[in-house]
Amino acid sequence: MGNDFEIVCEIEPPTRPDIRHVRHQIGVLAPVAHAFLIPDNHIGRATVSSIAVAHEVTAMGGRSIACLNSRDRNLLGFQRDMLTAAAYGVDEFLFVHGDKPTAGERAGELTVRTMIAEARAMGERPGFTRPRIGVAAGLRRLPAWKREADFVFAQMCFDVGAQLRWRDLAALERPVYAGVLVLASAGMARRLSATIPDIDIPAALVERVEADPRSGVAAACEQVEALRASGAFDGVHLVTVSRYREVALTLQR
Contacts of 78 (CB under 8 A, 6+ apart): 68, 110, 115, 118
pTM: 0.93
Of 86, 87, 37, 85, which Cα lies nearest the Cα of 65? 37
Q: From CA 84, how far away is CA 90, in angstroms rounded?
A: 8
What is the C-alpha to C-alpha distance for residues 234 and 48, in angstroms, rounded to an integer?
Answer: 29
DSSP β-bridge partners for residue 36: 9, 64
One pLDDT digit (tens) per residue for the chain, 253 residues: 345 899 999 999 999 999 999 999 999 999 999 999 999 988 778 899 999 999 999 999 999 999 999 999 999 999 999 999 999 999 999 999 987 766 666 677 899 999 999 999 999 999 999 999 999 999 999 999 999 999 999 999 999 999 999 999 999 999 999 999 999 999 998 888 887 778 889 999 999 999 998 999 999 999 999 999 999 999 999 999 999 999 999 999 8
Maximum Cα–Cα distance across the chain: 57
Q: Which of 79, 55, 77, 51 is nearest to 66 (CA)?
A: 51
Alpha carbon distance 120, 122 (integer Å): 5
